[in-house]
Chains A and B, each alone.
Chain A
Amino acid sequence: MALESVTSLPPNSWSIRRRAFTPYLFLLPFGILFLLFFIVPIVYAVYESLFRSQRSGLGLGAATVTFNGLGNFADVIHDPNFYTSIGRVLLYGVVQVPVMLGLALVLALLLDSTVVRFKAFFRLAFFVPYAIPGIIAALLWGYLYDPALSPIVKGISALGLGTPDFLGVNSVLWSIANIATWAWTGYNMLIIFAALQAIPTEIYESARIDGSSGFHIAWNIKIPLVAPALVLTGIFSIIGTLQLFNEPQVLTAISNNIPSSFTPNLYAYYTAFGNNNYYYAATISVVLALVTCVLSFGFLRVTQRQAGV
């Protein structure tokens, strides 16, 4: 490929010929690492997902690895642990992502409006959770949910309002959603806020002079203009939701209501390192990556069509 483009150039122009190689040289260091640590693992995961490990007889002999075709994929699709975990994160995402992005948008619009003071303080305060590592945030909220430690649980029960159970069968998913919302709202707000700041003021200055309310300007002018930033944050949130791992894994230390197949990623992790079934775990990872791609591309298509209308 590189040779062709070189030979088509004037043969006597050494500097131009050298320049034809240059972009490939600039791309090479990143390209090698990208190939080794991005492309090869994907190919390898797909390859692994075609095999399975079996023990004969009583399971005492050495395991033999056999080709299984698409058998693992059929198993994953029919695996109730897998599809309930996918269903669980989808339910979670349908609620958590709109709440978080809606809140991020409102906060960003308020910080961009003329009615608010102390903007720098608010921006910093909302951004603090982003500086707390996700695993630390999960530990922290875990303590705030833990009845033995939590000032929230103690405070509510001291008021005679009963003892809330943040770690129950039905509540723990939403307790996790709260951790993610707390951790990521500020980050998303900042992306939207940066997009708002990039809008030239003249665009809505005339609307303001005409007496349009701040709400009117926000809804009709600002939000359509930051739609690309919203799509970007939406895609990152969808990916993050399907990958959910840290928070449920940390909370398993204090809650009995998080089974090992609570989320697809948790399931893949325990399949690999709990059951040593790497082939099946690879299949789960591949299917999860496919689901993620389909959903994020689907989201992109739908939002683009909406924006086009």
Chain B
Amino acid sequence: MSQQTASVPLTISKEHVTTKKRSSQGSQQIQSIGAMVFLFIFVVYFLIPFFWLIVSSTKNAGDLFGSFGLWFAPTFNLGANLQQLFTYDNGIYLRWLGNTVLYAGVGAVTGTFLAAMAGFALAKYNFRGRTLIFSVILGAILVPGTALALPLYLLFSNVGLTNTYWAVLLPSMVSPFGVYLSRIYAAASVPDELLEAARIDGAGEFKAFTIALYLMRPALVTILLFQFVAIWNNYFLPLVMLSDEKFFPITVGLQTWNVTTGGANKFLYTLIIAGALVSSIPLLIGCGFLQRFWRGGLGTGSVKG
């Protein structure tokens, strides 16, 4: 382009450039308005169901069916709904909440730590079988989790582990995708020289690993939160494994309420809605944190408009 304009008389090319700039500024503004309108339409699409959830959680059963769904009813019933939610059936919801925190918390922390160790070994050591092991783990990412749930149930029932906390916790600790991510990040962010220096200073291999962990922090937070969200949202595995409601996570619990809402149990609607809202809050906070973290981690160094 610059070569072409060089052969054109200077005045013409200058004029050409200025008109082009003016028209592109105009079209830029139109583009900008069009883009903003497009984005706002999708903000409505993505937020309306959540808005409906918030509005509905403030209504009593009558208003839920009787009033307009997307605005608040005259009686503000959120407090009573929450109180009913937390006390219904001897506070079973709080127990489900606790179970979910236990499954997601312990599963994600342990899973991330194990994945970090495995990823670190695969990235930073040369050993026999390294490629084979990594290929098997990579292949495992493609195995659908639900295809595993049924055979896992059969295996666990053979050893009497179904209907226990372990039935959900143990499989949740395995994250092949986490190993894949931590291998990539360990290879990219942990310099070999640093590990060598640590070894020369007399640090053991595990000590060298803890230094690497420190450098892998951004990846570890990402893996931890992905894993946490995945376990928090998991439905199929606990559904298959558990039959006693005292071990249920929130997802399975709310769905068992959902299938019994008909007829005399219509009041359960308000409980499910309040329960759905409460169960979304921890993840919303977590995702807000993740966004801030990503903005810092990914945005630094790149200057973008």
Contact = CB atoms under 8 A, between A and B. Distances in A.
Interface of A: 1-2, 4-5, 15, 18-20, 22-24, 26-27, 29-31, 33-34, 36-38, 40-42, 44-45, 48, 103, 106-107, 110, 112-117, 120, 122-137, 139-144, 148-151, 154, 182, 185-186, 190, 194, 197-198, 200-201, 210-211, 213-214, 235, 239, 242-243, 245-246, 249-250, 253, 265, 268-269, 272-273, 278, 281-282, 285-286, 288-289, 292-293, 296-297
A307 to B, nearest CB: 19
Contacts of B36: 116-117
Given A210-B1, A285-B151, A128 B47 contact: yes
Contact of A135 (B129, B145, B199, B235): B235
A250 B305 contact: no
16 contacts: A33-B173, A41-B151, A42-B143, A44-B155, A110-B39, A115-B28, A133-B232, A137-B49, A140-B52, A182-B49, A194-B298, A197-B298, A197-B299, A265-B236, A269-B240, A285-B151
B205 interface: yes
A289 B299 contact: no
Interface of B is mostly: helix
Contact of A151 (B70, B120, B176, B251): B70
Contacts of A197: 298-299, 302, 304
Interface stretch (B6-14, B74-82, B85-93, B253-261): B253-261
A292 B142 contact: yes
Nearest to B272: A139
A134 B235 contact: yes
B96 to A, nearest CB: 12
A227 B69 CA distance: 41
B152 interface: yes
Contact of B284 (A123, A128, A285): A128
B129 A30 contact: no
Interface in B216-275: 229, 232-233, 235-236, 240, 250-252, 254-255, 258-259, 261, 269, 272-273
Contacts of A1: 128-129
B117 interface: yes
Nearest to B2: A210
A215 to B, nearest CB: 8
* Residue from the set B39, B137, B171, B236 with the largest chain A CB neighbour count within 10 Å: B39
Given A2-B128, A151-B68, 11 more contacts: A22-B125, A42-B151, A116-B35, A126-B42, A126-B46, A132-B283, A133-B250, A136-B280, A154-B69, A245-B235, A245-B236
Given A23-B127, A24-B127, A127-B287, A132 B280 contact: yes
Nearest to B126: A23
Contacts of A130: 229, 287
Given A149-B69, A265-B146, A292-B144, A128 B251 contact: no
A133 B251 contact: yes
A238 to B, nearest CB: 9
* Residue from the set B45, B65, B269 with the largest chain A CB neighbour count within 10 Å: B45
* Residue from the set A2, A20, A110, A135 with the largest chain B CB neighbour count within 10 Å: A135
Contacts of B43: 122, 125-126
